[in-house]
């Protein structure tokens, strides 16, 4: 078995070892014949050492030597940042608005409970509930027999009084002529004048009474005060109608009012003339436009809400009184505006800017802010960006101006 010496052996070590071997273990000439085996063993051991050292030296000589190569700096290409489609925003035009939500109910803008102005029997009722009527249409006819008799009596009394007045006036003229000539006393003249004055007053009263009867006769014909729809009928033909009793109700559905309940804290931002969008329960998908007409000055008792009265056009008669609605009152709006997500706007105060992607690189674009729409999470821009610009919409770390970017799905 051979021993392997892997450690390097220098010349001095080898010489010292050889001398030690020859001095200590090589037999002298006198003893050479008596111990031949020990000499061969020592020689064999020396050969093994020499062989091992030679192999180690050979390995050391055969090992590749390190080359002294001068290293040169390697310039790395800048790495492009890849942005997801959700991290950028393409600038578009928007119609911006800030609104206050409300709930409420619909009622006709014009409604009338029509009452009988004279007592009598209802001879005819010409309409039913739901009928459409025009202004001036005859709705109910009340019997006027008693009133016609009263009219004839008043007319007869009036005629008689006119005759008496004419005679009294003729008497007054004669008496005045005699008094002027001193042929009759002044008392007679005064009496003639008083009689004429009394008859004239009576005639005026009778004329008023006659006109009242004629008016009452006209009131037996009940007509529609405005165009609309009959919403209730409270009298039937042959029924005795008392003066002041309601006989019909008419509503005008061409124009409706919305009684909108608005939180008191937000009511200060509402003004007459503002527009509102109204959604009606039962007509899902349809949105109606209304306008603020009046605002109650105080909150409803027991609530923290103010009633805002909206006017709503209903010329197509799709809506009915009593419908429940919800909607939004627009308190401010901006049309065709450039708006960006709030996270896309960087900087503070007057120094505002965005990071735009131009030709595959990030570019700083200074902007001027017109208005911040907190409710919408948008910032309206006055100048600095244009429609179609692509900007970074999120506050991402590691982005630098001039950096190469790739926009696309990751």
More confident residue, 201 or 49: 201
User: How far is residue 384's CA from residue 367's CA, in Å, rounded to a whole number?
Assistant: 4
Task: Specify the pairing of strand 275-280 against strand 138-142.
Answer: unpaired
Residue among 174, 154, 139, 277 nearest 215 (CA): 154
Task: Specify the pairing of strand 221-223 against strand 88-90.
Answer: unpaired
Report the chain's mean pLDDT, rounded to a whole number.
Answer: 81
Partners of 49 in the beta sheet?
none
What per-residue confidence (pLDDT) applies to 334?
A: 86
User: How far is residue 344's CA from residue 357's CA, in Å, rounded to a whole number?
Assistant: 13
What per-residue confidence (pLDDT) applies to 403?
A: 84
Percent of the chain surpassing pLDDT 70: 80
User: For helices 145-180 and 186-219, what crossing angle results, to 10°?
Assistant: 160
Phi-psi sector, 336: left (phi>0), alpha (psi -120 to 50), beta: left
What per-residue confidence (pLDDT) applies to 52?
A: 43
pLDDT digits (tens, 9 = 90+) for 8-42: 444 444 344 333 333 333 333 333 333 333 333 33
User: How far is residue 109's CA from residue 391's CA, in Å, rounded to a whole number?
Assistant: 50
| Residues across the chain | 410
Domains of the chain, by residue range, sit at: 11-61, 85-92+345-407, 101-106+251-333, 112-233
Check: CATH 2.40.420.20 for 85-92+345-407? yes
Asked whether the predicted pLDDT for residue 53 surpasses 50, the reply is: no
What per-residue confidence (pLDDT) applies to 313?
A: 92
User: How far is residue 337's CA from residue 110's CA, in Å, rounded to a whole number?
Assistant: 40
pLDDT digits (tens, 9 = 90+) for 115-156: 999 999 999 999 999 999 999 999 999 999 999 999 999 999
End-to-end Cα, the chain, rounded Å: 66
Asked whether the predicted pLDDT for residue 82 surpasses 60, the reply is: yes
Q: Between the CA of residue 64 and those of 27, 51, 60, 312, 334, what are the distances in Å?
A: 44, 22, 9, 98, 80
Domain 101-106+251-333 CATH (choose: 3.30.420.40, 2.40.30.170, 3.90.1200.10, 1.25.40.10): 2.40.30.170
Give the pLDDT band (50/70/90) at residue 183.
confident
């Amino acid at each position: 078995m051979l021993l392997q010496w892997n450690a390097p052996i220098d010349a001095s070590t080898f010489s010292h070892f050889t001398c030690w071997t020859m001095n200590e273990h090589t037999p002298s000439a006198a003893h050479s014949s008596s111990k031949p085996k020990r000499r061969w063993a020592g020689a064999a051991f020396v050969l093994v050492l020499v062989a091992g050292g030679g192999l180690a030296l050979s390995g050391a000589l055969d090992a590749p030597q390190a080359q002294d190569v001068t290293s040169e700096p390697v310039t790395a290409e800048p790495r492009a940042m890849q942005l997801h489609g959700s991290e950028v925003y393409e600038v578009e035009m928007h119609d911006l608005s800030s609104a206050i939500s409300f709930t409420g109910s619909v009622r006709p803008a014009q409604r009338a409970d029509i009452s009988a102005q004279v007592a009598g029997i209802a001879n005819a009722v010409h309409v039913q509930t739901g009928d459409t009527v025009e202004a001036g249409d005859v709705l109910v006819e009340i019997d006027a027999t008693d009133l016609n008799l009263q009219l004839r009596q008043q007319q007869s009394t009036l005629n008689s009084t006119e005759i008496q007045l004419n005679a009294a006036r003729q008497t007054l003229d004669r008496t005045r002529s005699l008094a002027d000539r001193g042929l009759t006393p002044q008392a007679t003249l005064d009496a003639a004048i008083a009689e004429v004055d009394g008859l004239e007053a009576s005639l005026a009263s009778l004329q008023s009474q006659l006109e009242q009867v004629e008016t009452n006769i006209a009131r037996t014909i009940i007509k529609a005060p405005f165009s609309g729809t009959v919403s209730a009928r409270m009298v039937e033909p042959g029924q005795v109608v008392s003066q002041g009793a309601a006989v019909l109700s008419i509503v005008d559905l061409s124009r409706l009012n919305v009684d909108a309940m608005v939180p008191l804290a937000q009511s200060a931002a509402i003004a007459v003339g503002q527009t509102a969008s109204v959604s009606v329960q039962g007509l899902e998908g349809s949105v109606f436009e209304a306008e603020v007409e009046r605002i109650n000055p105080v909150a409803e008792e027991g609530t923290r809400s103010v009633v805002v009265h909206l006017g709503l056009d209903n010329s197509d008669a799709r809506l009915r009184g009593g419908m429940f609605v919800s909607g939004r009152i627009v308190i401010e709006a901006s049309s065709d505006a450039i708006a960006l997500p709030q996270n896309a706007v960087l900087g503070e105060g007057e120094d505002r800017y965005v990071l735009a992607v131009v030709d595959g690189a990030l570019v700083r674009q200074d902007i001027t802010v017109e208005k911040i729409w907190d409710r919408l999470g948008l910032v309206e821009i006055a100048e600095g960006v244009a429609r179609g610009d692509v900007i970074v919409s999120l506050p991402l770390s590691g982005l630098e101006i001039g950096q190469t970017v790739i926009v696309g799905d990751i």
